[in-house]
């Protein structure tokens, strides 16, 4: 299977620590309404404001055929095209975000009631001490994991929080902590223990698939969160009103040092200051970051609860709204992410998190013209590493690799935190790898690992670059290290394909073992509110249930129409023998000029199957010229297909 790259910007590949917290410009802003515009801080801008013009991309609709990036209406060249969708999600009930103009806080199910009104008046019949202690214990305890029954009974994921709440199978209550008062650092559990538990899930094999998790998802969740923080019963400090975060647990604390230690400090603070709405918002952002960087979706419900608590205390605070946007994007609920980002920006137009999440959401909804404008706006308002990297990706998607590289180099020049340096250099490595420049890719991955030797995207990228240069032994060792720490779908599939490419005794069985681990992770992701249909489609098309791949790809296409979902649907149709249906999607996947060898390979194979040999030769040749090592198995298949096509001239 040819791995997609940079599709999901909000996930683990966006790990710059400075993106965790919004920095407010100006003097001493109101903590609820956000700042007034401050003076220019002199930070260099990635590019002048303005950007490319264009109409909004088409929205979800009938999946019979793809849309195009520049037209709307009933048809284009005989292919039906969906009408453009609105720029802002509509108002929803049941926990969905409301329109940005209202500024209202989203509802949240099952969050303990704040002890008193938002004005600060204590109306709870319990003592403030007992109430604050109870709430903090509920929201700062170990992560909740969905039960096997939840995973069984849940309807197909439709990408909305409201749907999860209506289904009734997604409690986001975190269990109360014990009374010991001890605080354990998160993420300190043995990696071997965690992965061994994942392997036990895989060993259940057919029994697991028949039972649809039957307890193993819980085992996997326990493995992934074995180092969950336990917060004891510290006493409430007697605070009766909502307060802004103290300097001791400032969001800036998350920009340096250990994320786990920062979370522990925030939890300890919130045990004594449970009405600190900035503290809750920062904790929610930190849980979200932890979920993404550790591949642990069971942290998302805790992030949701912490952010909801912040909004209960201060319904319009921009930091929590921006956190909701980041959380929705991490769960692949991009329409929700866009609405939350707009709400946050209505309160604080300079919120770095909200500006970044808005770009992410528009990109992942396939609304590339709007994403380009959003990147220009963000660059003008809040230039910095999070905005620069997204600005670069928007240009890369349009085929403008030169601008993407320039802006990433500019981001690297401004980066000072180790997390930012690791993130930006890994992005430069990925950009080089996509162009087949493996030497440069390895250089940047080495720089990323010098900044953070455990940085997952750099470890994964280095292994892929090593495989592409023929160093399969080191590539396998490197990818084994990645999956031993974070058994996520993409590296699991990549490692399996490396085993198949090596072809030694027992490698086919090893490969099957890797592919079998994808489904438990996806099930756990679904159980914790994460839409994983794109991961399902990509993995299952080549190494799983082909019918399931097509169902997942269609579901994802109905939600969002991007070059990545177009490619996934095209390939799922192809492996199911429906090449005539696949061809329009394959063409759309390559329509923006994005330099992606896997997309070109998929299009070439589909063109060969549909009787377009000249086009097939063109695109298969282009794939191998662009990135000859784009996939351990796909590149070899492309070469075989080209030889067959040459014989038909």
Using pLDDT thresholds of 50, 70 and 90, give the confidence band for residue 557. Answer: very high
177 pLDDT higher than 70: no
Q: Tell me what the mean pLDDT of segment 353-381 comes to.
A: 97
Would you state the pLDDT for residue 486?
87
Is the residue at 123 inside a domain?
no
Is the residue at 274 inside a domain?
no
Residues 242 and 313: beta-carbon distance below 8 Å: yes
Residues 564 and 514: beta-carbon distance below 8 Å: no
Would you state the pLDDT for residue 292?
80
pTM: 0.68
Is the residue at 592 inside a domain?
yes
Would you state the pLDDT for residue 234?
30
Write the pLDDT tens digit of every residue in 241-276. Answer: 444 333 233 344 444 457 888 899 999 999 999 999
Is the residue at 203 inside a domain?
no
512 pLDDT higher than 90: yes
> H or E element: which one contains 76?
strand 75-76
3-state DSSP assignment of residue 149: helix
Write the pLDDT tens digit of every residue in 421-456. Answer: 999 999 999 999 999 999 999 999 999 999 999 898
Would you state the pLDDT for residue 45?
44
As a whole number, the mean pLDDT across the chain is: 73
483 pLDDT higher than 90: yes
Q: Tell me what the mean pLDDT of segment 200-218 comes to.
A: 41
Would you state the pLDDT for residue 290?
86
Pick 570 or 56 by higher pLDDT. Answer: 570
225 pLDDT higher than 80: no
If you average pLDDT over each of 119-128, 135-144, 156-165, 488-497, which comes out highest?
488-497
173-210: burial string, b at 16+ Cβ within 10 Å, e else? bbebbeeeeebbebbebeeeebbebbeebbebeeebee
Residues 495 and 479: beta-carbon distance below 8 Å: yes
Interatomic CA distance for residues 456 and 5, integer angstroms: 14
Contacts of 492-495 with C-beta under 8 Å, sequence gap 24+, read 492/517, 492/518, 492/521, 492/539, 493/1, 493/3, 493/518, 493/538, 493/539, 493/542, 493/543, 494/3, 494/460, 494/463, 494/464, 494/632
Is the residue at 391 inside a domain?
no
Would you state the pLDDT for residue 297?
83
Query: Tokens 């992934």 belong to which residue?
Result: 224
Using pLDDT thresholds of 50, 70 and 90, give the confidence band for residue 87. Answer: very low
Give the domain extent around 551: 532-649
212 pLDDT higher than 90: no
Q: For residue 366, what are its two tokens?
A: 């396939």
If you average pLDDT over each of 127-141, 214-228, 245-259, 627-641, which comes out highest?
627-641
Closest by Cα among 441, 413, 409, 406 to 426: 441
CATH of the domain at 606: 1.25.40.10
Interatomic CA distance for residues 9 and 62, integer angstroms: 26
> H or E element: which one contains 557?
helix 546-559
Contacts of 236 (CB under 8 A, 6+ apart): 128, 129, 130, 131, 132, 133, 136, 271, 272, 274
594 pLDDT higher than 60: yes
Q: For residue 71, what are its two tokens?
A: 């037209």
Of 201-210, 289-298, 378-387, 515-524, the poorest mean pLDDT is in 201-210
Write the pLDDT tens digit of every residue in 89-146. Answer: 333 333 444 433 333 333 333 333 333 333 333 444 444 444 455 556 555 555 554 5
Q: Tell me what the mean pLDDT of segment 506-526 comes to.
A: 93
626 pLDDT higher than 90: yes
Task: Report DSSP state, residue 290.
Answer: H
HSE of 279 in the Cβ direction (CA atoms, 13 Å)? 26
Is the residue at 67 inside a domain?
no
Would you state the pLDDT for residue 479?
98
Q: In 10 A of CB 611, how many CB atoms? A: 10
Would you state the pLDDT for residue 140?
58
Task: Please tell me the total count of domains within the chain.
Answer: 1
Using pLDDT thresholds of 50, 70 and 90, give the confidence band for residue 76. Answer: very low
Q: Tell me what the mean pLDDT of segment 551-574 comes to.
A: 97
Pick 223 or 200 by higher pLDDT. Answer: 200
Would you state the pLDDT for residue 289?
87
Is the residue at 378 inside a domain?
no
């Amino acid at each position: 299977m040819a791995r997609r790259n940079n599709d999901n910007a909000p996930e683990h590949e966006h790990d710059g620590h400075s993106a965790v917290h919004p920095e407010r410009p100006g003097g001493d802003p109101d903590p609820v309404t956000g700042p007034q515009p401050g003076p220019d801080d002199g930070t260099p801008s990635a590019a002048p404001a303005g950007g490319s013009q264009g109409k909004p991309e088409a929205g979800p609709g009938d999946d019979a055929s793809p849309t195009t990036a520049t037209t709307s209406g009933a048809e284009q060249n005989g292919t039906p095209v969906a009408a453009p969708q609105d720029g802002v999600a509509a108002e929803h009930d049941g926990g969905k975000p409301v329109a940005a103009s209202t500024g209202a806080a989203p509802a949240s199910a099952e969050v303990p009631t704040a002890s008193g009104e938002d004005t600060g008046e204590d109306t709870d019949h319990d003592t403030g001490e007992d109430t604050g202690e109870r709430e903090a214990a509920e929201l700062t305890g170990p992560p909740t994991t969905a039960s096997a029954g939840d995973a069984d009974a849940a309807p197909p994921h439709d990408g909305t929080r409201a749907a999860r709440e209506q289904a009734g199978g997604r409690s986001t209550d975190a269990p109360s902590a014990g009374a010991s008062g001890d605080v354990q650092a998160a993420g300190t559990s043995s990696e071997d223990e965690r992965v061994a538990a994942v392997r036990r899930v895989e060993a259940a094999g057919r029994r697991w698939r028949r039972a649809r998790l039957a307890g193993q998802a819980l085992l996997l969740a326990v493995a992934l969160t074995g180092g969950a923080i336990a917060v004891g019963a510290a006493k409430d400090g007697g605070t009766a009103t909502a307060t802004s975060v103290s300097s001791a647990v400032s969001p800036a604390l998350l920009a340096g040092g250990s994320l786990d230690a920062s979370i522990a400090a925030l939890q300890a603070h919130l045990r004594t200051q449970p009405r600190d709405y900035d503290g809750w918002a920062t904790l929610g952002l930190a849980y979200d970051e932890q979920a993404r960087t550790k591949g642990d979706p069971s942290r998302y419900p805790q992030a949701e609860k912490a952010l909801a608590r912040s909004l209960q205390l201060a319904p319009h605070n921009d930091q929590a709204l921006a956190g909701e946007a980041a959380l929705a994007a991490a769960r692949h609920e991009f329409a929700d992410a866009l609405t939350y980002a707009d709400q946050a920006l209505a309160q604080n137009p300079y919120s770095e998190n909200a500006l970044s999440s808005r770009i992410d959401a528009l990109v992942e909804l396939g609304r590339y013209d709007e994403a380009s404008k959003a990147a220009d706006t963000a660059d003008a308002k809040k230039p910095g590493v999070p905005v620069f990297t997204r600005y670069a990706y928007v240009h890369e998607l349009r085929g403008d690799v030169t601008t993407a590289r320039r802006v990433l180099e500019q981001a690297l020049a401004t980066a000072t935190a180790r997390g930012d340096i690791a993130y930006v250099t890994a992005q430069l490595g990925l950009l080089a790898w996509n162009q087949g420049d493996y030497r440069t890719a390895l250089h940047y991955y080495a720089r990323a690992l010098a900044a953070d030797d455990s940085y997952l995207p750099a470890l994964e990228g280095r292994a892929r670059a090593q495989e592409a240069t023929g160093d399969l032994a080191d590539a396998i060792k490197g990818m084994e290290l990645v999956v031993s720490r974070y058994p996520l779908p993409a590296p699991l599939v990549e490692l399996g394909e490396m085993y198949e490419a090596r072809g030694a005794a027992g490698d086919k069985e090893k490969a099957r073992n890797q592919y079998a681990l994808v489904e438990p992770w996806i099930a756990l992701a679904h159980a914790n509110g994460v839409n994983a249909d794109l991961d399902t489609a990509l993995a299952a098309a080549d190494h799983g249930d082909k019918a399931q791949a097509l169902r997942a790809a269609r579901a994802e296409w109905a939600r969002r129409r991007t070059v990545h979902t177009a490619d996934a649907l095209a390939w799922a149709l192809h492996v199911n023998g429906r090449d005539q249906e696949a061809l329009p999607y394959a063409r759309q996947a390559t329509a923006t000029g994005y330099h992606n060898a896997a997309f070109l390979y998929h299009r070439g194979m589909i063109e060969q199957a549909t009787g377009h040999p000249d086009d097939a030769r063109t695109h298969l040749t282009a794939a191998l010229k662009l990135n000859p090592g784009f996939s351990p198995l796909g590149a070899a298949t492309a070469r075989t297909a080209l030889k067959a096509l040459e014989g038909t001239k």
